[in-house]
Chain A
Amino acid sequence: MLRILLIDDTQSKLGRLKAALSEAGFEVIEAPGLTIDLPACVETVRPDVVLIDTDSPDRDVMEQVVLVSRDQPRPIVLFTDEHDPAVMRQAIQSGVSAYIVEGIHAARLQPILDVAMARFESDQALKAQLLARDQQLAERKRIEQAKGLLMKMKDCNEEQAYTLMRRQAMSRQQKLIQVAEQIIAMHEMLG
């Protein structure tokens, strides 16, 4: 059963979603408005989805969403009465997976949550890939830099420099990037 953290941030506090969600068969954990520390709340409750019901998503709401997306990434669905496309864009940028204006019917909840979770998964995969590419590029640059320094110091060619670094790394049970960092650090100290 899907575990849903429901944040009711509406003025009326009518709990319009609670009944619909329970009816649709979800496990619902309710939390008061966004005066709470949302990342900490997500950490304790460990929900599959975070659902925020708000009259209008203001800066405070967005702030909390950004924090959750960074530290405790979860699919976040925002139910609101706010029609303003600018607000909607900002919400999506902050890390909201689905932005739903009005119209809450029990029957529509499942597909909305499904889409939100699918979208969240593909976003996470994309983020991980971008991160991997950035890291590769950064490591490659550092290794290139160390190789260049070694070529000068040892007066050797590129392949010899790589081999020297690799042998050093392997005999110390380290990765090539670690030895590259050591060479750069040593060069900075002596240089």
Chain B
Amino acid sequence: MNTVPRATPLAWVNGSDAPEKPSLNIGYMALTDCASVVVAATQGFAQQHGLTLNLKRQGSWAGLRDKLVSGELDAAHCLYGLVYAVHLGIGGVPASEMAVLMGLNQNAQAINLSPALQRKGVTNPEALARLAHQHGARLTFAQTFPTGTHAMWLYYWLASQGIHPLRDVDSVVVPPAQMAAHIQAGRIDGFCVGEPWAADAVATGQGFTLATSQSIWPDHPEKVLACARAFAEQYPNSARALIKAVLAASRFIEQSPENRRSTAQLLSGSAYLATPLASIEPRLLGSYHDGLGNHWQDPHALRLHDHGRANLPYLSDGMWFMTQFRRWGLLRDDPDYLGVARQVQQLALYGEAAQSLGVACPEPMRSSLLIDGSRWDGSDPYGYARSFSLHAMGDLPDARVGA
């Protein structure tokens, strides 16, 4: 199936393709995976496409969402799940049509546990599952947004270990940069977060990394460049130019290890992540220390470009988040999975931008094998949402509590 329309030379014959709006406010959270956006804005990639990108660092995902919906931000570095939750009206704000312009990255999130659990010898999934099922031991995990990617990775991983994420443990929302402080204060037992915050917690002695997100789903979708659908419709040239600038920046970062290292240096600056280089650079380059003495070069570390494979707004990626919302009861009914994904994923705009830069466009459905042995290829979202033994779909007669 190929749904990416081919851009023809006549595509813009009606006028100039110069951005209708030349100066854009771009929101981002202080995370390693905002790299392409920051590099695009500061390293001359946006000017080449007639844009000025004004970077606006945000303190929380909820704040970023509110500004994206109100139009205060034109576009933003955004959690995949957040975009779909806003579009479907799950959560704190009424449904508001959203658009995914491109993928920003795959991989590079992690689940960490506290030093207290480490001292108790809870350093592997089996020990954690035993503890979680013990009477009286109520563990609290933090993620970064109720419908965000970290909540979904945390839930998926816990469930794959036989721990029901909604019944066996508590979860709370904490902004990414504050995870280590909450661990230190003993308010949470573990968390799922984007880098550099998991690496930074390990570096500062605030626990260890129990699982990487790429161990749950190698090359999983993560952050996207998102905007309100109205923005993409009103300013299609600005949206296309923005995709080009960020796509070119992502390609540049992955062109050489030197470029990756310079990117880590840029990100560590006080204007961006304000975090020591030592917490950012190793995992950005794939070098992992888990805090338990294990060290490895991760074959599925942060991917910002991967010859465009990390950037296409795959329909199957968008649909996956809806299947998980359904699985965990965040959606009471099944949405039109494919129909909604086609509305949100801006394959046409992305295809035009990618073609003009000579970046290849893969098929919009991809097939992946996840940690629990289930395969997701987007072909049967209804069945997939119902294929899990642990879930919170109230309408199923065989709904099991716990494992």
Contact = CB atoms under 8 A, between A and B. Distances in A.
Interface of A: 128-129, 132-133, 135-136, 139-140, 143, 162-163, 166-167, 169-177
B262 A166 contact: yes
Interface stretch (B44-52, B213-221, B352-360): B44-52
A171 B262 contact: yes
The list of the 6 closest CB pairs from A to B, nearest first, reads A173-B269, A132-B23, A170-B262, A176-B44, A170-B266, A175-B42
Nearest to B22: A132
Nearest to A134: B22
Contacts of B266: 169-171, 173
Contacts of A163: 252, 255, 259
B42 A169 contact: yes
Interface in B165-186: none
B281 to A, nearest CB: 12
A60 to B, nearest CB: 35
Contacts, number: 63
B43 interface: yes
Contacts of B263: 170
Taking residues whose C-beta sits less than 8 angstroms from the other chain, chain B's interface range is 20 to 34
Contact of A177 (B44, B51, B255, B270): B44
Contacts of B48: 140
A143 B22 contact: no
A171 B47 contact: no
B21 A129 contact: yes
Contacts of B52: 132, 135-136
Given A136-B52, A175-B43, 8 more contacts: A133-B22, A139-B44, A166-B43, A169-B266, A170-B43, A171-B261, A172-B265, A173-B271
B367 to A, nearest CB: 36
Contacts of A162: 44
A112 to B, nearest CB: 27
Nearest to B269: A173
Nearest to B264: A170
27 contacts: A129-B21, A129-B22, A129-B23, A132-B23, A133-B22, A135-B52, A136-B47, A136-B51, A136-B52, A139-B44, A143-B47, A162-B44, A163-B259, A166-B44, A167-B262, A169-B42, A169-B43, A170-B39, A170-B262, A170-B265, A170-B266, A171-B265, A173-B269, A173-B270, A174-B42, A176-B44, A177-B44
Nearest to A130: B22
B395 interface: no
A173 B268 contact: yes
B333 interface: no
B258 interface: yes
Given A166-B262, A171-B266, A128 B44 contact: no
Nearest to B256: A163
B41 to A, nearest CB: 8
A176 B38 CA distance: 12
B22 A136 contact: yes
Contact of A167 (B22, B50, B258, B268): B258
Nearest to A173: B269
A73 B142 CA distance: 46
Contacts of B252: 163, 166
A99 B270 CA distance: 49
B265 A173 contact: yes
Contact of B47 (A128, A140, A166, A173): A140
A130 B44 CA distance: 19
Contact of B23 (A128, A140, A175): A128
Contacts of B271: 173
Contacts of A140: 44, 47-48
